[in-house]
Amino acid sequence: MAIDFQLTGHARDLGGGFTVRRFLPSARKQSVGPFIFFDYFGPVPVNPADNYDVRPHPHIGLATVTYLFEGAITHRDNLGSVQDIAPGAINWMTAGRGIAHSERRPQRLADMVHVNHGIQLWAALPVGHEEAEPGFTHTPAADIPALMVGDANVRVLIGTAFGLVSPVNTFATTLYLDVALPAARLMVLGGDALPERRFIWWNFVSSSKERIAQAADDWEAGRFAPVPGETEFIPLPERRFD
């Protein structure tokens, strides 16, 4: 199979000096299957004085998929979910009609140096599910099916491959594999392409510009339910969606 083209990713500072390499969206490729965002971070040492926490912020119309190779992140959302994300687990958060969440250093690591290394994807929801009920699902690493294919260790994070079926439920055909080789590691992404155009602004994704504008107004007006235990939040960007 020939390589169509390569994406090298570009650096994006998410605040506090925390930088990711963003592969999607790009000028050459807006999405792969349903995946419209691909952020790769680390391996980066996190010292006690570093503040890489991501304060509460909103999403609509998408699902976030967080996967760690090293480190730990505490997820909290306004549904009341609290989950320490560990390496090898899959964490699927459905934003649907609207959710707010934070991503912070676990309290147990507050005084320790540790390394964070992972990937966060955004999957656009099918039009019929853009307004789905929000939800959060944690699938522990031990529940992810895996097998050896030659000298490759294949973990089926999402979808179906090699006769194995991931327990992670999605809204459309989706594939996400972690393939570990003796001298390399591959992440395989795919699934049903999006037949309709998606608009992306800040943390919002929708097939409707008007829906994004409404979500922006709702966040600014405080109409998203707060995240329990959080007193901070990320304000709406000054540059508005148009």
Report how far Cα 107 is from the mean position of its chain's Cα atoms.
Answer: 22
- pLDDT exceeds cutoff 90 at 95: yes
Residue 14 clears pLDDT 90, i.e. is over it:
no
Instruction: Classify 128 in phi/psi space as left (phi over 0), alpha (psi -120 to 50) or beta.
Output: alpha
Beta-sheet pairing, 174-181 with 184-191: antiparallel
- Say what the pLDDT of residue 239 is: 73
Question: How many percent of the chain have pLDDT more than 90?
Answer: 86
Residue 90 banded pLDDT, cuts 50, 70, 90: very high
Encode 92-138 in three state secondary structure.
EEECCCCEEEEEECCHHHCCCCEEEEEEEEEEECCHHHCCCCCEEEE
Contacts of 3 (CB under 8 A, 6+ apart): none
Query: How far is it, in rounded angstroms, from Cα 3 to Cα 203?
Result: 31
- CATH placement of domain 10-220: 2.60.120.10
Whole-number pLDDT of residue 144: 99
Q: Above 90 in pLDDT, residue 12?
A: no
Asked whether residue 111 carries a pLDDT value surpassing 90, the answer given is yes
Q: What is the mean pLDDT of residues 153-171?
A: 98
Encode pLDDT of 184-233 as tens digits: 999 999 999 899 999 999 999 999 999 999 999 999 999 999 999 999 99
Return the HEC string of 140-205.
Answer: CHHHCCEEEECCEEEEEEECEECCEECCCCCCCCEEEEEEEECCEEEEEEEECCCCCCCEEECCEE
What are the tokens at 187?
A: 């992440």
Torsion of CA 208, 213, 217, 219, to 10 degrees: 60
Q: What is the pTM of this model?
A: 0.95
Arithmetic mean of pLDDT over the chain? 95
- Report how far residue 35's alpha carbon sits from residue 48's, in angstroms, rounded to the nearest whole number: 33
